[in-house]
Amino acid sequence: MNPPITHATALPLRLQGIGKEYRLYDSPRARLTALLTGRATHRSHWALRDVTLELARGQCLGVVGSNGAGKSTLLKLITGTLQPTTGTLARSGRVTAILELGAGFHPEFTGRQNLYFGGSLIGIPGETMAALESQVLAFAEIGDAIDRPVKTYSSGMVMRLAFALITAVEPDLLIIDEALAVGDQHFQKKCIDRIHTFRENGCTILFCSHSPYHVRHLCDVALWLEQGRMMELGATETVLTAYEKHTRLLDQQTGVPLPAPAARDAHTAAIVSCDIADLLDQGEDKPPLLQSRDLVVTITVRGKDDERPQVGFMLEQDRGVGITSMTTHEDGAAAQPVGAPQEHTWRVTLTFHDLPLHTGDYVISVYLFDASGMITYDRWFQFKVFRFVAPVLVPGLVRLPHVWS
């Protein structure tokens, strides 16, 4: 018998020893034999085991972990899609989940009919939906398509309508799986703004993501799951540091290649170029050599309309550890406009004087954000490796300021 899921709790969410077991049989015959005889012929797979946590009102928990770690199982247990095998789960208030957007829509129904159909599935009665309809349609921005069958919609239109419906009523507990925002860059900003409004009003958020940047900027606490077990639960930065160290070790073992920057449409916000001064080409087998003691990086981006974009930079040891990262909005810096106003092109130069690194190969990443710094318009992740030779060859990674006495 499955443990109960209750709704009587002062906290928005409380989990105590939650576990989820799947019974695996070698064949349908083995399953039937077990059913008829009562003998255990299965192998147990625990997708989640002994998870205990509490979330207070207004808290935001980020859930991180590799594929198969149990993140989706945890979310399904909290939403009630799955029942736990062990432990107890208690939640209070309205729970809204942004999971597979549009999965409950009927393709033959029109968008308007799906609002009422989908609304009834998530607990919005017809009379309430009628009162909310105009604001839902205004947020979704799909125009006259609302009276066409959903099967004629693009995937972006389906996600717009689904997000507008799911977030039409402010929840007590909001669950977000992976997609912090949906659709094009304009609609992403609307989604982010709505989620921030929910949080400012005291909504508790559980955010599952592979983006450490968004977990850092959105979450108070973080949970690292691995193979269904809790590895760490606590302050966001502490948990992410441990998780990122773990993933780096895995990348070293598997030799993950550096990705090429993704191509972008000419009319969307994007990174245009990233140039490092004083690099000397050493041939195909060696990374270019930084000839200067200064690291000077010039980043050119294309913004969205007249919005001043924010730019991020990260420096890491190649196939090793992270060294530093920074963004214009956190440092109080600003990219400057270049070229014609209608081109929406911006440029910023980042300089590290007397680079305090020891000899080695290093890799850089560049990010383009919206004006708030929350929406990632574009990223060139680990796209450029360079070699730096320090004037003094000693062990270590960086030269820290110090005094001998």
CA 174 to centroid of chain Cα atoms: 15
pLDDT-based confidence at 132, cuts 50/70/90?
Answer: very high
pLDDT of residue 188: 80
**Nearest one of 351, 363, 370, 71 to 224, comparing CA atoms:** 71
Residue 106 in domain:
no
Tokens standing for residue 214: 């968004």
Pairing between β-strand 204-208 and β-strand 60-64 as defined by DSSP bridges? parallel
Question: Please, are residues 87 and 78 in contact by the beta-carbon 8 Å criterion?
Answer: no
Residue 384 lies in a domain: yes
Mean pLDDT of 191-212: 87
* 31 is a domain residue: no
Instruction: For residue 370, give the CATH number of its domain.
Output: 2.70.50.60
Q: How far is CA 222 from CA 12, 59, 89, 200, in A?
A: 17, 11, 19, 19
pLDDT at 131 over 80: yes
**Mean pLDDT confidence for 189-199:** 85
Q: Within a domain: residue 104? A: no
> Residue range 247-265: average pLDDT?
61
Residues 318-334: tens digit of each pLDDT: 877 789 999 999 999 99
Sign of CA dihedral 114, 200, 369, 316: negative
Question: Among the listed ranges 91-100, 144-153, 278-287, which one has the minimum average pLDDT value?
Answer: 91-100
Q: Give tens-digit pLDDT for 4-52.
A: 455 445 688 999 999 999 887 777 777 777 777 777 776 778 999 999 9
List pLDDT tens digits, range 154-182.
888 888 898 899 888 888 999 988 655 56
Q: Work out the percent of the chain whose per-residue pLDDT is above 90.
A: 43
Is the per-residue pLDDT at 260 higher than 60? no
Q: Tell me what pLDDT residue 1 has.
A: 47
Tokens found for residue 157: 């239109």
Give pLDDT, residue 8: 46
187: tokens are: 């609609």
Alpha helices by DSSP H, 65-110: 71-79
Q: Is residue 357 part of a domain?
A: yes
Q: Can you give the residue range of the structural domain that contains 364?
A: 270-388
Q: In whole angstroms, what is the distance from residue 136 CA to residue 151 CA?
A: 20
DSSP states along 142-203? -GGGGGSBGGGS-HHHHHHHHHHHHTSS--SEEEEES-SS-SSHHHHHHHHHHHHHHHHTT-
Q: Is residue 360 part of a domain?
A: yes
84 within a domain of the structure (yes/no): no
Residue 122 main-chain phi, psi, to 5 deg? -105, 15
Confidence label for 127 from pLDDT (cuts 50, 70 and 90): very high
Q: pLDDT higher for 191 or 111?
A: 111
The label of the residue with tokens 């245009």 reads 272
Mean pLDDT, rounded, for 307-314: 94
Number of domains in the chain: 1
Rg for the chain, CA atoms, rounded = 25
Q: What integer pLDDT is reported at residue 79 of this predicted model? A: 87
* Residue 317 burial (C-beta neighbours within 10 Å; 0-12, 13-18, 19+): middle
What pLDDT digit, counting tens, does each position of 43-73 carry?
Answer: 778 999 999 999 999 899 999 998 889 998 9
Contacts of 145 (CB under 8 A, 6+ apart): 111, 152, 153, 157
For residue 366, is it within any domain? yes
pLDDT at residue 253, as a whole number: 58
- What is the rounded average pLDDT for all residues in the chain? 86
